[in-house]
Structure 1
Amino acid sequence: MSDAQTITPEEVREAFAAFLKERADAGVLIAQAVTDITVTHRVVRITFDLNESLMSINPFENLAQFAGQPIAFRNEECARVRAGVDSVDTQLPDGTSLGALTAAEIYKLGAGLELADEK
């Protein structure tokens, strides 16, 4: 693995995939509905195939709050992955948005700090 300054899009994708797989393996139904994860131009796009039943139990108004956890906290691994991410977008297979947040917004939600405070 490379350092934070040179994290590759594939390493970013792998970090998000590992988190979502761990949650899916733990029985989180929304995580089990992930069908695709891509990283293009520092944007992580996660596609969820959510039916009405899953949508009704989704506790997140913006699914990027859940999906963005690999960059949300004040620890070395989150900082490393966050160095390669500008935003996280979530969507249905037809492209309907399930929410998007910038890396700074996700960090503020998770760590309670401004991204500038991380340094």
Structure 2
Amino acid sequence: MRFFTDPGIGIDGRVFCMPAGRTAGEERVMGVRKTTRAFEKDKAAFFAKCRAEHAPCWICGQPIDYSVPKNTTDDSYSMDHFLPVSTHPDMQFDPAGFRPSHTPCNRARGNKDPYQPIGRLSRVWADESAM
């Protein structure tokens, strides 16, 4: 059984109640996310685009099974954000940050920043190392 504290007012003006023993700052840590109609529309458009292009998982590069319902099997589609929403909440609604992924790949990545390759070695370095 959960007990709630007195209602508070959020930064958006909405009234909310937090479980007893938690502070408003912990609300973000608990994973409470907001959504909008525009966000839902953008997610649906992104899914349709990925399905039409048979886009692979951006994490592992393997094909995604778009014929099964989202987030139901290991090969099913899960929308990921390039920058984790937990660390970059201001980027949650940006369609440029959407990425197609497998459900387990998305879960395994968690809230880690995306992999950043070191880059190509310079020609000078490659030539000197051959000597």
User: Does the alignment reach a TM-score above 0.5?
Assistant: no
- Which of the two has higher C-alpha Rg? 2
Point out the structure with the larger strand share.
1
Point out the structure with the larger helix share.
1
Give the alignment's TM-score, normalised by structure 2. Answer: 0.28
Give the alignment's TM-score, normalised by structure 1. Answer: 0.30
